[in-house]
Structure 1
Amino acid sequence: MYLTRFRVNIARSGARYLLSSPQRLHAGVLASFPGLPSDPAVRPRILWRLDHGARADVRLYVVSPDRPDLTHLVEQAGWPTLAEPDAPGWESRHYQPFLSRLAKGDHWSFRLTANPVHSIRRKDGEPTKRTAHVSPRHQLGWLLKQRERHGFDLLPGVAPDDQDPLQRYAVVVHDRRDLAFRKRPEDPAPATEEKSKDRPNKPVTLTTTVFSGRLEVTDPDALRNALTQGIGRGKAYGCGLLTLAPEGQAG
Structure 2
Amino acid sequence: MPPTATLTRLRLNPESPAVRRDLADRIQLHKTLMRLTPGTPSPHPRRDAGLLFRLETDRDGPCLLIQTTQPPRLTGLPAHYGTAQTSDLTPLLGALTAGLPVRYRITAAPVRHIPGPCYGRRPDGTLLRRRGTPTALHGPDAARWWQRKASHSGLALTDISLTPQAFERSPHTPHQPGLAHQLIQFDGHARITDARLLAQSICRGIGRAQSYGAGLLSLAPA
Please give the range of the TM-score, normalised by the shorter of the 2 chains. Answer: 0.7 to 0.9
2:115 aligned with 1:110: no
1:93 is matched with 87
Rate the CA distance shift 1:76–1:25 in 2: closer, same or farther, 3 A. farther
What TM-score, normalized to structure 2? 0.83
- The alpha carbon displacement at 1:5 in A equals 0.8
Q: Is the 8 A contact 1:15 1:76 kept in 2?
A: no
2:22–2:28 contact (8 Å) kept in structure 1: yes
Q: How does 1:1-251 map to 2 (within 5 A)?
A: 1-40=5-44, 43-54=48-59, 57-73=61-77, 75-78=79-82, 89-121=83-115, 127=130, 128-133=132-137, 135-155=138-158, 170-181=159-170, 201-203=174-176, 204-247=179-222
AA aligned to 1:226 is S
RMSD: 2.4
Number of residue pairs aligned between Structure 1 and Structure 2:
205
One-letter code aligned to 1:205: A
Instruction: Report the CA distance between 1:171 and its aligned residue.
Output: 1.9
CA contact (8 A) 1:37 1:43 kept: no
**Deviations, residues 45-97 of structure 1 (Å, cap 9, x unaligned):** 2111111223x52111111111012234362422xxxxxxxxxx211111111
1:175 is paired with a residue whose SS is strand
In structure 2, do the counterparts of structure 1 residues 50 and 178 end up closer, same or farther at CA, with 3 Å as the change threshold? Answer: closer
- Aligned partners of 1:183 and 1:77: how far apart in 2? 23
Residue of structure 2 equivalent to 1:165: none
Counterpart CA distance in 1 for 2:67 and 2:148 is 24
Deviation at 1:246, TM superposition (A): 2.3
Give the secondary structure class of the aligned counterpart of 1:5.
Answer: strand
Supply the distance in 2 between the matched residues of 1:3 and 1:218 (Cα, whole angstroms): 23
Bigger drift between 35-44 and 222-231 goes to 35-44
Give structure 2 stretches of 5+ with no counterpart.
120-128
Aligned-partner Cα distance in 2 for 1:37–1:215: 39
Give the AA of the match of 1:147: A
CA distance in 2, matches of 1:130, 1:107: 33
Q: Structure 1 vs Structure 2: percent identity of aligned residues?
A: 26
Q: Deviations over 1:151-206 (max 9, x none)?
A: 00112xxxxxxxxxxxxxx221003324444797xxxxxxxxxxxxxxxx434311
Q: Residues 35 and 14 of structure 1: is their aligned pair in 2 closer, same or farther, counting only changes over 3 Å?
A: closer
Contact 1:179/1:207 (CA < 8 Å) preserved in 2? Answer: no
**Structure 1 residue ranges without an equivalent (≥5):** 79-88, 156-169, 185-200
